[in-house]
Structure 1
């Protein structure tokens, strides 16, 4: 399959109704039914309950989350670490419900849970015809955040990895392209640069450890040598776009606060990959601290070390 086909919605075919895919159809059908029938307050409780159950059975992920917090916040009290880990799992359970909300709720209902706190910079860039690299993070409600920008009339392109199950892929693609959002194959760098140069938005997530390829080691929270992608500087330097930190965390009222309030490009050191990665990490930290228990602490953010032979040693 060519890369170009990954940018198009996979077509429906009768082969998707083969019995081997019935589990996928049944699972997503049940999720769609649940999120559309139940009130949001009950969905929130259901999601958090799923997270609590997951915490009981996901001991290895509990250890990873706890270790990440110990590394990132060495002065944090153990009781606070345990509280954040528990809340993180509750939000992880809620992520399943939020995916259903994103993919299956009608727009009129979806709008009710959104609060556009500050997105004026994106509207201004639209009027100027200037592309924007919208740098978000792996929040557990990321699916909602991406659709929220589309609902607000600020559609963008998302880097995308197709699912190996064609029935899952059929559903996932349509869920992620609601309200005008589009997808780009995650390794198609030329297409990413092209859409930015054409004045569009590109959703980009520079917060995880993607391994040594195209990465540098710079501070991230209290970890002095955290493996950090250089992709932000590559895209910004080649496209001359704006760089906008963005987020969509859930507040105490159960609404999602959509924020994209500044352009950090003027002071961004695009020609120095190491300085650029360190600079970007400061803003990634700022985004995460808006709701630290809603970030994905369950993955090994600090697994890679400058010495290739010591990978994962921070988690031993």
Structure 2
């Protein structure tokens, strides 16, 4: 009963905040969201998780540097939350809001009529990858982690339904759905930087991190394009989306080794993005085992 009441309160607050943010220009809403999260975030347990992660990922960083990065992390998360209210209004074509680099690679994958995989990470506003693809005629089927609050999950699904082909829940059902998507020759979108309890221990910032093997297994099974998409936040609620060259698919004859080789390449790409803009990554979750 207490949990249901708590969820109900969260839903009312979330809806009210989204409604208020939608009344504001996106730049103002984004700035307000950043300010709110910079105020509240440091008081949450996740702040300690972020600081611990950063200290281990960047052992050479000073306390002042970690403080600065953590503040940027909360700012980025708040901005992304507020921008949810404006996602259906963002035009990724004119270059004013979204600077797109490597568009030709996405269009080539779309026009091939073959399945392909787009992978990215929880950086900047991570909905931009799906939004860019959708506005170019190739809505992605996304695997996602359900929100614990069912009401909030329904609201998130409603927003994302406008620019995704379908949302596949993480787990076995999502894996079956991903196979169906690939069999039908459609594109699949993945954020590969989340914590997993299963998978393969692939290095990430020099420490083993359990990494889902499904993206690599699907890529090798279908021998399809695997497009890394880098996301960056720019000043003024603007974004840069870079569709990088497809990853080379290993073909040694040893499927297990090939899966691990491809996963190493994918994690290395994400790590390079995070190192370049550490304040824009989702440091507030436990990406690594507690006792590593």
TM-score by length of 2: 0.84
Question: Are 1:313 and 2:291 counterparts?
Answer: yes
Residue 143 of structure 2 aligns to a residue in which SS? strand
Q: Would you say 1:96 and 2:81 are equivalent positions?
A: yes
Instruction: Please point out which of 121, 137, 140 is paired with 1:137.
Output: 121
Matched, 1:231 2:214: yes
Q: Please, which of 59, 62, 84 is the counterpart of residue 47 of structure 2?
A: 62
Q: How far, CA to CA, are the matches of 1:194 and 1:218 in structure 2?
A: 27
SS of residue matched to 2:195: coil
User: Quick one: which of 181, 185, 194 aligns to 2:165?
Assistant: 181
Alpha-carbon distance between aligned partners in 1 of 2:211 and 2:159, rounded to the nearest angstrom: 29
Aligned positions of 1:1-316 closer than 5 A? 23=9, 26-58=12-44, 60-102=45-87, 105-107=88-90, 112-139=96-123, 141-163=125-147, 167-187=151-171, 188=173, 189-211=175-197, 213=198, 215-223=199-207, 225-267=208-250, 271-272=256-257, 273-303=259-289, 312-314=290-292
How far does the alpha carbon of each residue in 1:268-305 deviate from its partner, in whole angstroms, 9 at most, with x for none? 876413333222211111232343211100111112xx
Residue 43 of structure 1: how far off its partner (Å): 1.6
Deviations 1:179-230 (A, max 9, x none): 453222333323212322433211112212202x2x222321232x232222
CA contact (8 A) 1:217 1:274 kept: no
| 1:6 alignment counterpart | none
Equivalenced residues, count: 282
List gaps (5 residues or longer) in structure 1.
Answer: 1-18, 304-311
Q: 1:25: Cα distance to partner?
A: 6.3
State the alpha-carbon separation in 2 of the partners of residues 284 and 168 from structure 1.
Answer: 28
Structure 2: gaps (5+ residues): none
Distance 1:216 1:36 in 2: 41
Q: Deviations over 1:58-112 (max 9, x none)?
A: 1x3222111111221222233212211111111122232022222xx43559975
Deviation at 1:137, TM superposition (A): 0.8
Seen in structure 2, the aligned counterparts of structure 1 residues 135 and 53 have a Cα distance that, compared at 3 Å, is same
Distance 1:193 1:265 in 2: 21
Deviation string 1:34-66 (CA, Å, 9 cap, x unpaired) is: 2332122322221111111123311x3222111
Q: Do the aligned partners of residues 145 and 274 (structure 1) sit closer, same or farther apart at CA in structure 2, a change above 3 Å counting?
A: closer
- Compute the displacement of 1:140 (Å): 5.2
In the TM superposition, residue 153 of structure 1 has moved relative to its aligned partner by 3.0
Contact 1:145 1:248 in 2 (8 A): yes
